[in-house]
Structure formats: structure tokens, C-alpha cells
Structure 1
Amino acid sequence: MITVYDSHGREMKISRNEWREKVFLPNLKQQWGDADELYNLIVSGLNDGFATDLMPAAERLVEIDANPERSHVVNGIVLMHSARLDAAEATLREGLAKVGVSGIILTNLAKVFAERGEQSVAEATLWQAVEADPNQENGVMWWLSIQQERGGEAAYLAALHTVAALPGSWRAQLWMARHYLQQQNVEQARVLYEEVLAGGQFDRSALQMISGDLGNNGHIPLIVELVGPAYDEHKHDSTAGLNLLRAYQELGRVDEGEALLTRLYALGFAPIKSHLDQFAHAFEDVRRQEDKAFRLILPA
């Protein structure tokens, strides 16, 4: 079953076949000339396991997309999922020829080599990808996991420091901060978070990771202190906003929570509406309890 949302934000379930025949394939045809919409549909189709239906659409995207990096990457992924490794390598190399060195293209090229069993070439290409973009999550996580498998936790931490030293790196610093939180070294984690936030180069998912890691380790006030001023609902992942709402709720900071709630409702983002409704009720309950307590202490 596949989850969809109606115009009122209500969640519904429909079968994969029904979704494919009545919604997905017609949508592909409808968006044949719109690169952005076609790209989004291809990614959605990959996530839903419809790779075999996507080869014509991915080829079409390469033809019309003004962003050759994403079109060649998604075409390469579709071809890999369809077990056409030579064609995947060819389209990825074409992408490199058009855009130059690209971390995400090189990461996917490394996946092609790995699928063929060419491990040494795959690892060399993967490191090129990390050097090109030290914040490209899939590539960096893959490279770190290789080091960890070979040398354990010590090798993983050493690899994190190696990536963190690359120009422009910030994601490795967040993983280092996670390690420090797990080791109860909150101050060192805080220093890394402040450096990343001050640099301002992080992507829309970074605040989700920071707020989630702080919450999972019980440092709720730091979520408000660090994430609160940085969070922009138009730029950052909505999950970070939900984590921030939860922090306001746990700390009893109703005014700030309701102000953020208003901002998030204004997005009109259906998948989070039920969560927002729960927070709205929770803040209303706190208000009622405060009003009741105030009435109880009024003089006769």
C-alpha cells in the first residue's frame, strides 16, 4: 500500500497497482515537458520501486533538464536499478563531462564499480567524491563505513577528523558532535554545533540532525538555544520544526511554541498537519491549566 493525502491533508492508503496505473504513470506523461516535476516524479517512483517504468522518463529528463548534474545522476540510478551498469557508467561520465568534478556523480559512479565488484576502483572514486563534496551524505557515510569495517570505532573517528579537515566540511562535524554527546561531552558537542551554525553553510537537514541528537541525549534546553534562532521553516526540514515544538512543549514555553506553530501551519504541508494539531491541543491544555491555577489563587 502507498500513502497519499487528499486536499484536506487526510491520509489515505491505496494499492501499489492502483497508484501505478491511475496516478503515477499518467502523471509522468503529464509532466513530460517540466524538468522539475519530472525529476520529482522519477525520485518518487524510485522510492516506490517502479524503476523499470522510469527509463524513458529518465532519458527524457537528460534531454530537457537545465541541471545536467541531477538529470545524469537520476538517469544513472534508474539504469543501475535496472541492472544496466554499462549504460549507467556512460550517462554518469557524460554528466561529469558537462559539469566537471561532482561529488554526487562520482559517488554514483563508485556504486557502478562496486556493483561490478571492482572494489579498488570504487574506493578510489569514492574518495574523489568525498574530496569534491565533503558534505554529500551518501558518499561520506559510505566512505566512513568502509573505514569503520576495517578498523573499528577508532578508524571511524579518525576518518571523521579527516573529512572534517576538508575545505567547506560541516556534516562530519555534526557526526563528531553526536559522538561527543554519546560520550557525555556536551561542551565539545556544543562548540562544534556553534561552529557549524555560525558558518551558515549547512543544508536543510542539518537542524533536524542537531535537534534530534540533542533531544535523544536529553539536552532539551540546547535545542531551543541553538536551533531556535537558526530555524527557518521555509529553508529547513519540517522535522526540525517539530523537534523544536516538542522542546518548547517540554520546557513549558507556550508563547514561543504557539508562535512557531502558526508559522508551520502557514506552510500548508499536509504530512505534518496531524502533528501540528497534537501540539496545538497540548499548548491549549497548558493554557487551560495555567488559567485554572490563576483562578485558584485569586483572593476571595
Structure 2
Amino acid sequence: MTERRAYPSDLSDARWELIEPVLSAWRYERHGRALGFGRPAQHDLREIMNAILYVDRTGCQWAYLPHDFPPHQTVYGYFAKWQKDGIFAQLNGLLRDLVRQQEGRNAEPSACVIDAQSVKTSTSVPARSQGIDAGKKIVGGKRSILIDTLGLLLAVLVTAARVQDSTADRELLDQAATNHPTLRKVWVDGGYRKHFIEHAATLGVDLEIVQRAPGTRGFTPIPKRWAVERMYGWLMLHRRLARDYETLPARSEAMIHLAMTDLMARRLPGESTVSWRDPRSPNQICSTG
């Protein structure tokens, strides 16, 4: 890797050790089987991932990547290939299992929480991928997420904001039930309809609606569902997710997987996530990852 001044979003050695086997295996599958007859790779995988994390964390456009990273066309090309090949989802699943085991939980969860977040989209997002959330008065897209009780991502689906929560989450729950057959309990808010509850039952999942107590004012954590609100806070540490900038819903989902990969990779070795509240100087932050 070319020597350069580190950015706060760069992978530390400990985090790179967690991620490197998956990326190296991907590169071998695509290039290694050529048995020396293919063109050798020109760019370091760690630098490519550092550049992608820089975009996810800072929210900059690909063309505005600092020049000490590989060319932005190359970086975006890797991002697109990794998204298409499911590498970001694979990393999310691998690190989630490790975090759960570190917390003394089984690798496979038995309970989850579903929620949806409507976000504004940029001008680069095609009109067909946008819509109007009449309830929240937002023109843009909708992120439907399913997390475990630790706040770790199990499934995500990005749609136009006009799509009803129960419609998107039916597909989300089907996906989660297939990938995590141990799921038996799901908590949701009060906006879900009877047919969604019945659909959950057909999957062997008990759906429970958790609502705010009558008369409650101001911010009050809601039992079981507070974890999903905390997760939204975690995601907003990554400025690329403050608005939906991706031209394809699948790329938006990849950015969310990437943000969770970054957070869990820091959590496993005990590294803190850098934010504007961090009292350390930039040099101290970079030296500790």
C-alpha cells in the first residue's frame, strides 16, 4: 500500500484483518483462476476499501475523492462489482455473527425489530425510484430495515417512499425468515395492517405491535423498538446516508451494509467510532483507527 497520511475513515490493521479474507477470496475467484494468464491487479484492496469507506463516511461524490486514493473510476468500479457480487452483505453477515458471539449470543437471532425510514433523494436518483411519503411529507426513498435486538442489521430493502410499510416489510420478512430460520419474534410499530400480522404467522413468526403509551409527550424510548432508533443514529454517522444519493436501490442497500460493516469492524476490536464529539486530535484518531 502506498504510504500517505491517514484519514480517520481508514481501516486499522485490526479491522483490515477482519475484512481482508473476504476481499482476497473475491479477487482470487475473479482473477486467481486465470493461473497467471490474466492481467495482474494494479490496486491494493485495502486502499480500495479505504476509498469506499471515505465516500460512505464523508458523503462526498466519487469524483471528489482525494487524489492519494486510486482513481475514482476504479474505486466506483470495485464498489459496483462488490455490490453485485454480494460482498457487502457477506461482510455484514460475517461481522454480525462475530459481534453476537462476542456479546454471548447465538450467532443466529431468534427475535428482531422492523422499521422504515423515509429519506430525501438527490437529483441523481431516477424519478422511478422516488415517491411521496404522504404521512411524513417527504419526496424520496424509503429504507425498510430488520435488525436483531442488539441493533445489528439482518435485512434491508430500499424502495420509493410511496410504498406502504406493510408491503415492503412483507418482502423484508420473507427474506429474513429464509436467511434466518431461527426467527420466532418480531416487534413493529402501530402502522402495520392485519394482513401483515397474518403473513408473519404463516412464517412461524409471532408479530407484536409496540406503541407509545397514551399521553406520552417528548422523546421517550419505546420498549423493544428503541434499538432501531439507535441504529438510525449509528447510520447517520455516515454522511452518505443523510440523503439517498445512489442511482440504484441496490447501491443504496450496499451503502447501508457498508456502514454497518464499518461500525461492527470497529466494535469487535474495541475501537470507537469517530464523531465530531471525539475530543482527540485528528492525528490521535488516525493512529488508533
TM range (shorter): under 0.3
Choose 1 or 2 for highest CA Rg: 1
Higher strand proportion (structure 1 or 2) = 2
Q: Which has the higher contact order (CA 8 A, sep 6+)?
A: 2
Give the TM-score normalised by the residue count of structure 1: 0.26
Give the TM-score normalised by the residue count of structure 2: 0.27
